[in-house]
Amino acid sequence: MFSKILVANRGEIAIRVMRACRELGISTVAVFSEADKHALHSKYADEAYLIGPAPASQSYLNIDAILEVVEKSGAEAVHPGYGFLSENPKFAKACEDHGITFIGPSSRAMAMIGSKIEARKVMDKAGVPVVPGSGGEVKGIDDVFRVAEDIGYPVVLKASAGGGGIGMKVVNKAEELEKVFESTKAVAASAFGDGTLFVEKYLPKPRHIEFQILADDGRVIHLNERECSIQRRHQKLIEETPSPIMTTGLRREMGLLAVRAAASIGYVNAGTVEFIYSDGNFYFLEINARLQVEHPITEITTGIDLVKEQLLIASGEGMSIDQEDVRIHGHAIECRVNAEDPLNDFTPSPGKITKYRSPGGPGIRIDSGVRMGYTISPYYDSMISKLVAWGRTRDEAIARMGRALSEYIITGVTTNIPFHKAVMRNPAFIKGDLSTSFIDDEGILDEIPKIIEEDEARAARLAEFFKEDRKVVAISAAVGAYMNYKKKSPGK
């Protein structure tokens, strides 16, 4: 096992990795930008190094600066977390070339699935079903029109190098196609440096279901599924496991195909095979070559520490479990608590957290990298924390999440907590009727003003209570001070 690891990330995921390292007796090295010099992850690590200015392009995406810290600190391996350089084959290759262990798949496997077009081809060849579409790059608008007419509207234009919902646009009719093609191509070129697009059939009201996989040099296993259908702008907000629609037979079928997909490219370490599910059929979507944001719900229902397994695999020891060791214990839900305004198209709300109290109690887990007084930077993702609720049943997990959300106090920035409260009390969500269009279909945003009003009324009552409580404390303190004075000065 390694003796020292550098974590090339920030915030809650950096702390999550460092926690696993601390339990295993591994020293950790943090890197931080000028905006993060007081961040928790830089204080939690055994060593911390400044790597550049606030913009990620000059710090967390600066491969040379990170490798320089690896050499300076004597770290033997690098854990990339998620986001930033986690799926960058150039970074993985640079680590390999410098004799540094990259805790993730090889640069070769990463490059193979980094292009969604190439990944589709590989999966098709391996017998993993893919969504009907262009099968390759669409060279121009005539090519797009031909494919769209062939597979039928609506269609979705996707950036081959894209991720996180960026460079992805749905087109409902031919009249919209040319304009959307040009704008999507421009977004892809700007965001990823690659304007390559392909076309897929857009499936109505699909569910987004993914399978967590682990692979070492000789084995590939899956650790069950996660349902990630509640999204805004194709980006996940709430995840749960097991999926409400999953059966033993469907899990076996999808799980075997997820394992086959990973094995077909010689994948090693932790990853996620994502599927789209519609009308009883499922299709390969992509492979995420990293640890996922939503990995805690898999950990809490299987009892398996995914980061520790990553470290075991990367060190050459191999994972500590086999497929038959994987069980499902209860139900877990994760809400991504972000500094963003759900009533303003989920616009980020950077700023200073003036009050912060996280929830607790039975079945609650919080992964966070913030504290009271912490400033949510406009330079990075607006995530505040990942709030996880576990229950013996799905109903119990929902009830615990609702309770935990009511306990969560964050002031100074606008958060999406009212959005999560609205979802937890929604009848369709409670029944498990989900799709990627859930937010619009259920009018979730229309329920938020009422919830904010309830929260403000509750806050006013609490403020009045604490005002009275402070009076009692002050009187008690005064009486105590007087009695102490009498003891010391009898007769006065």
CA 367 – CA 462 distance, rounded (Å): 26
CA distance 113 to 123: 10
In the beta sheet, which residues pair with residue 411? 355
Strand, coil or helix: 84: coil
Beta strands at 155-163 and 281-288: parallel, antiparallel or unpaired: unpaired
- Give backbone dihedrals phi and psi of 420, rounded to 5 degrees, phi first: -65, -40
Choose among 161, 29, 8, 178: nearest CA to 79. 8
Of 256, 282, 287, 254, give the one whose Cα is nearest residue 269: 287
List the catalytic residue out of 120, 226, 290, 400: 290
Given a contact cutoff of 8 angstroms between Cβ atoms, the answer to whether 166 and 120 are in contact is no
Nearest CA among 36, 48, 30 for reference residue 376: 36
Token pair of 251 as six digits: 């899990």
Q: Which bin fits 403, alpha (ψ -120 to 50), beta or left (φ > 0)?
A: alpha
Please report, as a single letter, which amino acid is at residue 180.
V
To the query of whether residue 290 is one of the catalytic residues in this protein, the response is: yes
Q: What is the DSSP letter of 81?
A: -
Q: How many CB atoms lie within 10 A of CB 141?
A: 14
Helix runs in 74-221, H state only: 89-97, 107-114, 116-125, 141-151, 174-192
Q: Which tokens is 269 given?
A: 């370490």
- And the tokens for 239? 């995840």
Q: Which residues pair with 450 in a beta bridge?
A: none
Instruction: Give kind and range of the element (H or E) at residue 198.
Output: strand 197-201
Q: Around Cβ 52, how many Cβ atoms within 10 Å?
A: 18
Q: How far is CA 323 from CA 330, 331, 476, 489, in A?
A: 18, 20, 61, 75
- What residue ranges in 339-437 does DSSP mark as E strands? 340-341, 347-348, 351-352, 355-357, 364-368, 375-376, 383-391, 409-411
Phi, psi of 277 (to 5 degrees): -125, 125
Residues tagged active-site: 290
